Amino acid sequence: MSFDFLRLFVPKDRKFFPLFDKAAENLESAGKLLFELINSTSSEERNRLINEIEKLEHVGDELTHDIFQELGKNFITPFDREDIHRLASALDDVLDYIHGSSKRIQLYKITTFSQDVIKLASLIQVQTEEVRRCVHELKNMSNMRDITNSLVRINSVENHADDIFEHAVAKLFEEETNAIELIKIKEFLSMMETATDKCEDVANVIESIVIKMA
């Protein structure tokens, strides 16, 4: 009740929420492109998708920079300054690991993907979609149930990703006899699994914001 009363005297935010929306939409696009990349069978198409993800990573860096700049210029913010910094950084981290995963496909010349890798890519896509939903709802906090459901799903997906990663690594050590290839694939798998961890970090930041604003 007190929050609703105080909100009447706080100017409507026209800086941070639009930037966060753009950052979350940009991240969602990267998640979709990664899934397309993993499922593509054409080397030309894969190179195109890797370049597109790289462009989105640059856009993400610019948006993060813009958020930090606004944070330095504005005294009044829609929620805690520390949480704004944490959320922007967390979104950027997810994008960095998606980009890192795509670059390793190119650098390590990975041309075939196991079902575990395809599943991880699918889970990253799901998480980035849920992140975008959560961030979009932060503007008005009117759909708390939707935010909570998305947060639960992000965390559940991360747990599932852990299981898939462990299975993939165990299978890799069992079947791969080339030590160099083993190192390459394990690092690639770790990069993708870390992307799911970073999505969970975003969810934790959003949960903290929701608790403070409730």
Q: Which residue has the tokens 């007190």?
A: 2
Q: How far apart are CA 122 and CA 34, in angstroms?
A: 9
Would you say residue 6 lies in a domain?
A: no
CA dist 30 and 60 (Å) reads 10
Cα Rg, the chain, nearest whole Å: 19
What is the spatial distance between Cα 99 and Cα 58, in angstroms, rounded to a whole number?
Answer: 10
CA distance 156 to 78: 29
Residue, of 142 and 179, whose pLDDT is higher: 179
Average pLDDT taken over every residue of the chain:
92
Question: Does some domain include residue 2?
Answer: no
Q: What's 174's domain CATH number?
A: 1.20.58.220
Please report whether residue 3 resides in a domain: no
- Classify residue 198: in a domain, yes or no: yes
How far is the C-alpha of 46 from the C-alpha of 34, rounded, in Å? 10
Instruction: Give the model's pLDDT for residue 2.
Output: 40
Q: Does any domain span residue 196?
A: yes
Whether residue 1 lies inside any domain: the answer is: no
Mean pLDDT value across residues 137-142: 81
**DSSP string of 109-141?**
T-----HHHHHHHHHHHHHHHHHHHHHHHTTT-
Domain residues for the domain of 122 are 12-213
pTM: predicted TM-score of the whole model, two decimal places: 0.92
> Does residue 202 form part of some domain?
yes
Count of domains observed in the chain: 1
pLDDT > 60? residue 192: yes
For residue 148, give both structure tokens.
């909570």
pLDDT digits (tens, 9 = 90+) for 63-98: 999 999 999 888 788 889 999 999 999 999 999 999
The reply to whether 35 falls in a domain is yes
CA–CA separation, 205 and 76 (whole Å): 20
